Structure 1
Amino acid sequence: MAYDLVCTGSLGAPLEFGNHREGFNLFERWIRDLLKTYKLSSVIVGMEPTGHYWFSLARWLLDQGIEPVLVNPHLVKKNKENRDNTPSKSDHKDALVIADMIKNGYYSPCSFSSRRLRGIAYSNGKSRDGYQTPQRCG
């Protein structure tokens, strides 16, 4: 799930995409459309580094020349609770809170170690979408 929260502070429509090559290609087309529509030269894509799901997207973004950044999951949870005074969780709510945190500068850059990247225990050493997963990021 992604939201575009441009420098004007306006919130656009969300985009849902899968964590696989076809989903990433859809996400890339969406980003390119945003760049063109708002006459931007670059974007920042933020995510929560929870589990292993973010590795493939972060690596793919770097391969495309798009800057991935990370937000602290604990701060996402706190900001979410403060936003509507409930502990409820949803992809839409998470994406909105993450976009708002990035807009306000509450993120860390994502950088992969220079050592060879290793995959999550798949037989070919790669994640399902073919991207290697990092040993270390952050």
Structure 2
Amino acid sequence: MELEEEMDVDGEEEPDTSSKKRSNEDTDVNSSTPKKKAKKPVRREDSPILKKLIKELSALIPQQTSSGGTISLQTFSDMNIDSVNFCELNDRIIKAKDDNKRTTLKLIHSYYYFGKGYRLWFDHYKKTYSDDTSNSLVNDKIRKYFPD
């Protein structure tokens, strides 16, 4: 396929401007446009994100659990080298991981049964209504269970 070129009034040919190729003019070495700067490497100790995270985690803010209990976190300044019990901390980590797995499974089951219930009501309404109307009726039924 040939590229079409337009003729200018004074007889010079101009390249087709509808072409999507970039010209080399944009990459001129003597261009005065600012170049993209490379990020300076930051030492791990100087990382602002790391400092912010450490500050957040070491803040003495009690957190509520889903069971209603309160977890209070020790700050680093409150920790004593003699009070570090790695066995107990490891047991807490393992228990938290197990609790997380159980919670994740409960969440997956809840989504599954929510979808299954939705499908049952959809099929019930679909016997007498169109797909769109059935969807709308099921959504209305679900909204009844949630306060505004």
TM-score range, shorter chain: under 0.3
User: Is the helix fraction higher in 1 or 2?
Assistant: 2
Higher relative contact order (CA 8 A, sep 6+): 1
TM-score by length of 2: 0.18
- Higher alpha-carbon Rg: 2
TM-score by length of 1: 0.19
